Amino acid sequence: MGKLFGTDGVREIANKLLTPEMAFRLGRAGASVVAPRNGRRQVIVIGGDTRRSTGMLGSALSAGINSAGVDVLDVGVIPTPAIAYLTVKLNADAGIVVSASHNSAEYNGIKFFGPDGFKIPDEMEHEIEKRVWARATGTPGSAAWSENDDLPRPSGSSVGMCEDIQDAWELYVEHAVESARHGLDGLRVVLDCANGASCLTTPAAFRELGATVVVINASPDGDNINSACGSTHPQALAAAVVEHSADMGFAHDGDADRVIAVDADGNVVDGDQIMAICAVHRHFQGGLPGRAIVATNYSNLGLAHAMESIGCSVLRADAGDRYVLQMMLEKNLVIGGEQSGHVIFLETTTTGDGLITAIEVATVVASTGKPLAELAGVMKKYPQVMVNVGVARKEDYHRSKRIASAIEAAEAELGSDGRLLVRPSGTEPVVRVMGEGKDEGEVRRVVESLAEIIESELC
């Protein structure tokens, strides 16, 4: 059977592979793995974003969980990091989010959190997948599809129940507000909610902290989530910040586990710059444990140089917030994240949290009195050039001496002021070539030349 879990849970076009039948099986299998019956009543928190398919999949997921004898606390439309927080706050055995994050509306996804609020490890995902496919026949949604499995199916008073928790989002807002290191009185802020899960939570938190708030893209209709708005399309936010003469703006993705900022002039401040701003501020306040942060291999070279300039460092993890988090835990560090705006502040959250990250940035502005553009100037962004090379024989990549020699020559050309990253994709017939350096034209020439060699060798 096919692989279900990717780097961030299950994610597919809703009602295709990710059918209600599949969600039901994921609920049963997931409950048996993350909340096994051990003599007491188990409970799982579930919530999701604003896609039209979220209700369909969430209902099927809850039914599967209840069928396994586990209770459900349904917290409704709510950001992904809120599920992580509420799983711990409500003393639940697990949390599950129905969301496809930054993807367009036809997609949806299911991701699991453990009782500690952290995403479940790969081993647990593999076990859920194994149980989903146990004795399965046919294709999900087809007449030949079988729901038979070897999992318990209790009856009577042992069947699970579902309870709606109407005010759970308020608990999350309270938590986010309590994380703030400074009030936001006097600041005018534009918030782009991407027509997603943050439409209530982020505006409420910023208003409670004293900011004057302008909200855009907060009218979800089931189909407009992430559509020409939010963190993947910050142009709308930039225009609104300038139009309303705001001090700054913040844009989430559909499930608000990431955020991108915009300064008063409409310039985008990405996840790398956000980490630089917050880490430098904390360092000079004496609050950056380990004098280091964690970024990914795709984070800008300018972030490393900014940290080196204050005697600190950047540790690089593989792309994906779970790998960033793993390194943060191993090294006892408190800030880590990705250029996309997934940022983790480990003292207050267990996963990427767009609201808490936005609050952190805004409080630095408020406490220093410096505009966001000046604070972002601590990091000089180096031009990055990325080429995805479609290949026919990806498996030959590591065996090609010509490619190895070309990479070595390209690295020498970029020199100490540049950086080269070449990686075969784990899921696509593609080799990714990324270069950085002071001169964009030079970087582009080196990257495209190397890409041509890779293509000629592997196609």
pLDDT at 416: 84
3-state secondary structure 81-143: HHHHHHHHHCCCCEEEEECCCCCCCCEEEEEEECCCCCECCHHHHHHHHHHHHCCCCCCCCCC
CB distance 359 to 205 below 8 Å = yes
pLDDT at 287: 87
User: Which tokens belong to 228?
Assistant: 């020409």
Residue range 384-458 forms a domain whose CATH class is alpha beta
pLDDT at 229: 97
CB distance 231 to 253 below 8 Å = yes
pLDDT at 243: 98
User: Which tokens belong to 308?
Assistant: 């080196």
Q: Which CATH architecture has domain 170-376?
A: 3-Layer(aba) Sandwich (3.40)
Please determine whether the domains at 5-166 and 170-376 fall in the same fold group of CATH: yes
Q: What is the pLDDT of residues 256-286, one digit of tens each?
A: 999 999 999 999 999 999 999 999 999 999 9
Low-confidence ranges of the chain (pLDDT < 70): 1-2, 37, 39, 135-148, 426-427
CA–CA gap between residue 420 and residue 437 (Å, rounded): 9
Strands 313-317, 292-296: parallel, antiparallel or unpaired by DSSP? parallel
User: Which tokens belong to 120?
Assistant: 């479940």
pLDDT at 319: 83
CA–CA gap between residue 97 and residue 84 (Å, rounded): 9
Domain ranges of the chain: 5-166, 170-376, 384-458
- In the chain, DSSP finds a helix count (H) and a strand count (E) of 14, 19
CA–CA gap between residue 77 and residue 198 (Å, rounded): 8
pLDDT at 2: 61
pLDDT at 133: 87
pLDDT at 250: 98
Which CATH number fits the domain 5-166, given the four candidates 1.10.760.10, 3.40.120.10, 3.10.560.10, 3.40.50.1000?
3.40.120.10
Q: Is 101 a catalytic residue?
A: yes
Q: From the candidates 32, 53, 101, 179, give the one annotated as an active-site residue.
A: 101
Q: What is the pLDDT of residues 393-447, one digit of tens each?
A: 888 899 999 999 999 999 999 988 899 999 888 667 889 999 999 999 999 999 9
Check residue 315 and report its DSSP letter: E
